[in-house]
Structure 1
Amino acid sequence: MTAITPDTLLAELHKAADAVSALAAKLTEADVPAESALPGWTRGHVLAHITGISNAMARQLEYAARGETVELYDGGYEGRTKAIDMSAGHALEQHRADLDSALQRALRAFDSLDAVDTDAVDTDAGETDAGEAAAGAAGWSAPISYRGGVVLDGGFALWRELVIHASDLNTGRGPETWSRQFCEHLFTFLAARVPEDQKLVLQPLGLPRVTIGTGGRSTVVNGMVTDIAAWLAGREPSLGSLRASAAADGVDLPELLPWPSGVPAK
């Protein structure tokens, strides 16, 4: 897989934030209460969530710069959900203002980071080892409360949130627009969704295969890299290319475990 360095991640965060802002700029007032690609959520819910996670991750970095940690959301998962529900019905102008402010706050926080301690970063895996990073405790390696990790983990999390939820806005920018680099990052991160007794052999068309999971039941999943990533992320594959097989026979795609949440439920 292609290595993702902090500099690369920072550039991807800016690109993802620009894409979200561009999509929000094209919405009309009537689009806000319309259905998103997420069951039970309007586009207003998605906009409110992107605003909330951007502010939450910015706060993680602001506290980390002072050598402190703070929970991702006030009130945990319940507080997150309440804030989204309260903001979902805002007028479009308010959504845009809140979103732009939150994205700018988050990007400022990431742009201000010190040079990373490269010995504490596993760029192939896309996540960092919190124990090693805590020894340096500066810049990208500073501890945060999100997943008991470090700032770099927060950067990857915000990248996932911005790219995936841009597609969830249901404006025509689906998973088929996700980059190979982003999809390969999801393969690693979402390996946590593979049940303990299973192993998935991911075979993106024209690309090297990737194995995730360590169980004894092996399933091969073939398809476009974006379709495989979308399925792993719980989204509808947009190109219809997925095929699963076991022992050379066609089978249904296996059931996956829930998305690995970074917000403990209360």
Structure 2
Amino acid sequence: MIDHAHDLACVRDATERLLTAAAALDNASVAEPSRLPGWTRGHVLAHLARNADALVNVLEGRPMYASAGVRDADIERDAPRPLDVQLTDVRESAARFQETGDAPADWARTVELRNGVTDSASRVPFRRRIEVELHHVDLGIGYELEDLPAEFTEREIDFLTQRFSGHGDVPATRVTDGTHAWSTGREGAEPEITVSGAPADLLGWLAGRRDGAALKTVGGALPQLPPL
């Protein structure tokens, strides 16, 4: 069962970790490339701020973004800002998200995200946690996939294997860290391939942050996953 209150608290903690780490940067390093192709660290911070506001829209029943073009333009507009402005924006937008999440609401209702995707409102705080945790790693400032809370890593692997479940371009695959196991890819068949490895490496592969070279595969080559 999804505990949205727990996830809101975890989002708050993850945001504070990110803000504390990013405060050690300077204006020059904010303009340097992040680990995401084509994005500087400023792009990542700008995206985090605008994503918080977008998820407020979702929880309040408005479109997540006015359009894909507006989303991209807002990130490009905000990316070059000085560090202090970036951090203030991330902090204030995060506070708006927390305030919205703390308000009484029907957490069982269905909400709409981007591209017609729908989900339970109760999962929105975890979706925000994903953004904060993974983009902290994307900043390339010393926070690695191995540093993510174990509970988060397990849940995100579960979330992503569910996302690729039933995808016709992904062979039926068993994913395991040696303790837990998940199924993903095409349905209606026994898994063709087993992918195993450390939790951080599995998450990195599923989230498009690592190439999977550290993983072991049995039954075929490592599946190529569609973009998130």
TM-based fold match above 0.5: yes
Q: Please, which runs of 5 or more residues in structure 1 have no aligned partner?
A: 64-68, 115-137, 260-266
* 2:164 is aligned with 1:193: yes
What SS class does the counterpart of residue 94 from structure 1 fall into?
A: helix
From 172, 177, 182, give the equivalent of 1:204: 177
What SS class does the counterpart of residue 229 from structure 1 fall into?
A: helix
What SS class does the counterpart of residue 198 from structure 1 fall into?
A: coil
From 82, 107, 120, give the equivalent of 1:140: 107
Superposed CA deviations along residues 142-166 of structure 1, whole A, max 9, x for unmatched, are: 4432233332132121111111111
* 2:133 is aligned with 1:159: no
Q: Hey, what's the Cα distance between the residues in 2 that align with 1:198 and 1:143?
A: 30
Residue correspondences, number: 220
Partner of 1:96: 87
Residue identity matched to 1:222: S
Query: Residue 175 of structure 1 contacts residue 237 of structure 1 at CA under 8 Å; is this kept in 2?
Result: no
Superposed CA deviations along residues 111-139 of structure 1, whole A, max 9, x for unmatched, are: 22x3xxxxxxxxxxxxxxxxxxxxxxx43
Q: What is the percent sequence identity of the aligned residues? A: 27
- Counting only pairs closer than 5 Å after superposition, residues 1-266 of structure 1 correspond to structure 2 as 4-61=2-59, 63=60, 69-74=61-66, 76-112=67-103, 114=104, 138-146=105-113, 147-191=117-161, 192-193=163-164, 195-196=167-168, 198-205=171-178, 207-213=179-185, 214=187, 216=189, 218-236=192-210, 241-246=214-219, 251-259=220-228
Distance 1:253 1:96, change over 3 A: same
User: Structure 1 residue 186: deviation in Å?
Assistant: 2.1
Q: Please, which runs of 5 or more residues in structure 2 have no aligned partner?
A: none
Q: Hey, what's the Cα distance between the residues in 2 that align with 1:28 and 1:243?
A: 40
Superposed CA deviations along residues 214-249 of structure 1, whole A, max 9, x for unmatched, are: 2646211111111101110000279x6411121xxx
Residue identity matched to 2:91: D
Please provide the CA RMSD for this pair. Answer: 2.1
What SS class does the counterpart of residue 224 from structure 2 fall into?
A: coil
Superposed CA deviations along residues 17-62 of structure 1, whole A, max 9, x for unmatched, are: 112211221211111111101011100000000011011112322x
Q: Hey, what's the Cα distance between the residues in 1 that align with 2:79 and 2:138?
A: 14
User: Structure 1 residue 7: deviation in Å?
Assistant: 3.0
